[in-house]
Structures are given as structure tokens and as C-alpha cells.
Amino acid sequence: MALAALCALTAVGAMAQAKECNDEFKAATYSKWYDNRVEHQDIAYEAATEYVTVCPTDDSQYATALKNFKKKYEDLKGIQNIASQFDAAVKGKNYAEQMRLGKQIVATNPENASVVYIIMAGTGLGDANLLPESAQAAKKAIELIEAGKPFAPAYTTKDQALAAMNYIVAKAAMKTSPAEAIPSFLKAARYESDLKKTWQFYFELADAYDKGPIAKLTADYKSKIGPNNTETPESKLALENLFAMIDRQIDALARAAALADPTNKKAITDDVTELYKYRNKSDAGLSAMLASVLTKPIPDMPTPITELPTPSPTATPTPGTGSTGTGTNGGATGGGAAPGGTAGSSAPKTTAGSGTTNPATSSSAPAKPTASPKPKPRRSNHRVQ
């Protein structure tokens, strides 16, 4: 009986303390919210929560204002919590979490999250499995940066940011379509950044030429050879396009050789020398090209050749003897090689190993493209036979 009496008294006390949704409560609580909504939002949130709890059916303009404030405050707190986790993931080099949490952050305000997109883009350099997603983030970052959105503190200049994002797009494309990677490599090379000053960057570009258009054009050439390996007008035209693409590969390898460190310089120089001599039937002009290649703009992809050049009336052309003015800046431009050999470069036998360096991992210095990717040694099998 004593226990029952105590419970009854407690219930009465609670009822006495319960607030009623009357005009006095509404006015006092609304004023408390209004006075603190700017400088003391935690207090304003308490008032708004109390208002909608005590008066859940109130649909006045005052109640609507408090409900809207409450929702926005809770959304903001949720984003702040995610942002804190995102920052921890960046510092902890947890690339999968960076991608997962970054997606949640950008979903709330995709047009003003350029730096978050930049960090998400860099995850693919830390974890190759994330490259497809990181490339999409890089494309969005490019769009926002070009529209004037901020790139700091991730990068100090717009050129550095755009070079890095295009490089990430190229890296992702290399896994599925090397030919599609080349335009992004070329875009990255035209921005003023440290990326264009690394030999590995140009080595990767040469690899893209080899595995993409050169492989395709080599197969195209072989399919057009006539009976008994005789040249046809179609095979000659295919060979012209093939040599034009090899010239671009020579240019990329020459840049890599010019920039390479002592450990890798000889291997890359030997590589480009072999390809240059195959392409030109001689090493004449090679030394001059290697010495001057970095002073010249990187060449665009060659325009497809659709018809063979008209032979000079005073000269008898040799079938399949190379390109007509399709050479690289400082690269091979003269009469090409007759079929027999490879349209591709051998990889330098690097001693640095393979893979990429890890991106930066702090919220103020997000993941950036590696300055020194180390491609695995390879041997091309794309010379026309």
C-alpha cells in the first residue's frame, strides 16, 4: 500500500510538471527560440524541440518556423558528424571510407563540394579498386573547378588541380581502354604542374599509345596485307597511320628519357633508341631530338590519314616507307621502316618496382596524384611482321 501511494504521488508530481500547449507556453518558447536562433543555436534547438513535442499538432506559422529550424539543425549536426568521420578516414588513409563518407557529404550540396570531390578522386591512387569511382569524382571536380569553385587547400593553383584530376581520369581509363586515356594524359601535360616534370608520367603515356591505338593499328595493318605478305593500297594506308602513332610514342618516351633519374635513364634511352631506329631505319637526329624534346609542346593525337600521298613524278616510292609529315615535335618524321619489327616500345627495365606512392592524407592536404608512379617493365608485341 505504501508503494502504491508513493507511485501515485510521483504520477501526480509528473503531471504537475507537464507543460500544457497553451498561449503562454507558445509565446515563451517561441521567444526563447527567436532570441537564440543566431548566436546560441543549441539553446534555440532545445526550445524548438520542446515546442514541437508539447504542441505536435500546431500548424501555425510559428510552429512551422521552429520545425524547419529543428530539421536543418539536425541535418547540419549529421553532416558535421559525417565530416568528422571523413576527416579521420583521410588522416587514417582509409580510402574506402573516404569514398563512402564523401558521397554522403557531396549529396547534401553537390555544387559546393569541390574539395571533397578532389579528395574522393585521390582515393583511386591509394586503392586501385576505387579508380572507377575516383575517376567519376575527378570529372565532377574538373567541372566545378572550371566553373570557379575552390580547389584549395588541396592544391595551390588551378593548373595543379586540373592536371591532377585529368591524370586520375587517365589512370582509370588505362584499366579498360588505354586509347581513351590518352586525351586525359595530354590535357594533364598541358597544365603547369609538377606532374608534367616526372618521367613516369610520360612513360605511362607511351604505354597508353602502345596498348591502345598502336595495338589496334598493328592488327589493322596485318589484316590488310595481301597474299604472300604483299603490300596493298589498304595496308600502306594503315601503315601510314600506324607510323604516325608510333611517332607520338617516340615523343612520349623521349620526354621520359630526358627527365629520368640516373637509375632509369639508360634503360629508357635504350628503349626510345630502339624504337626510333626501327621507325626511321637510322638513329640520325635522335640525339638532337632527345636534347630538345622538352622545349617543344607535347603533340596532339595525329589526325587520321585517309589517303596515300601522291608519289613524286621524279622519284619511285618504296612501298610502306613511312609517314608523310606526321612526326612528332622533335620526333621521327622521315621515311618509315618497311614492315618487320614492332610498333611499340620495350619498357625500361626500371629498378624502382611497380605501383604508386600513396596520396597525401590530411584534410588540408587531400589525396593527390602520385608524382612518381613506377610502371612494371613490359615488352611490346606490336611490331608489324
Which tens digit of pLDDT belongs to each residue from 226-243? Answer: 998 899 999 999 999 999
Residues 223 and 334 both lie in one domain: yes
pLDDT band at 326 (very low <50, low <70, confident <90, very high): very low
Q: How confident is the model at residue 167 (pLDDT cuts 50, 70, 90)?
A: very high
pLDDT at 75: 76
Is 40 within the bounds of a domain?
A: yes
Arithmetic mean of pLDDT over the chain: 81
- Give the chain's count of helices (H) and strands (E): 14, 0
- Nearest in space to 247 (alpha carbons), one of 227, 222, 225, 217: 217
Provide the whole-model pTM: 0.69
- Domain range enclosing 286: 198-306+319-358+370-385
- Per mean pLDDT, which range of 66-80, 169-183, 362-376 is the poorest? 362-376
* Residue 40: predicted pLDDT: 87
Is pLDDT larger for residue 315 or for residue 180? 180
Tell me if 313 is assigned to some domain: no
Residue 171 lies in a domain: yes
What is the per-residue pLDDT for 314? Answer: 53
Q: Are residues 113 and 149 in contact, defined by beta-carbon separation less than 8 angstroms?
A: no
Task: Please indicate, yes or no, if residue 183 is contained in any of the structural domains.
Answer: no
Q: Flag the least confident range among 46-60, 64-78, 232-246.
A: 64-78
pLDDT digits (tens, 9 = 90+) for 338-360: 333 333 333 333 333 333 333 33
Burial 27-36 (b: 16+ CB within 10 A, else e): eebbebbeeb
Instruction: Render pLDDT for 108-163 as a digit per residue (tens, 0 to 9).
Output: 878 879 999 999 999 999 999 999 999 999 999 999 999 999 999 999 999 999 99
Q: Is residue 214 part of a domain?
A: yes
In the listed set 91, 106, 136, which residue is the last one of a domain according to the structure? 91
Residues of the chain with pLDDT > 70: what percent?
76
Q: Return the CATH number at 139.
A: 1.25.40
Residues 298 and 231 grouped into a single domain: yes
Q: Are residues 220 and 298 in the same domain?
A: yes
349 and 214 share a domain? yes
| Mean pLDDT on 14-29 | 77
- Are residue 100 and residue 87 in the same domain, yes or no? no
Q: Note the pLDDT tens digit of each residue in 264-294.
A: 999 999 999 999 999 999 999 999 999 999 9
Could you give the CA distance from residue 199 to residue 372 in angstroms, rounded to a whole number? 8
Domain count, the chain: 3
Residue 1 lies in a domain: no
Q: Sorting pLDDT into bands at 50, 70 and 90, what band is 169?
A: very high
> What would the pLDDT profile of 200-210 be if each residue is shown by its tens digit?
999 999 999 99
pLDDT of 315 strictly over 70: no
Let me know whether 220 and 345 are in one domain: yes
The pLDDT of residue 41: 87
The whole-angstrom separation of Cα 286 and Cα 2 is 106
Q: Are residues 275 and 334 in the same domain?
A: yes
Q: End of a domain among 146, 177, 208? A: 177
**Triad 10, 15, 18: Cα angle to 5°:** 125
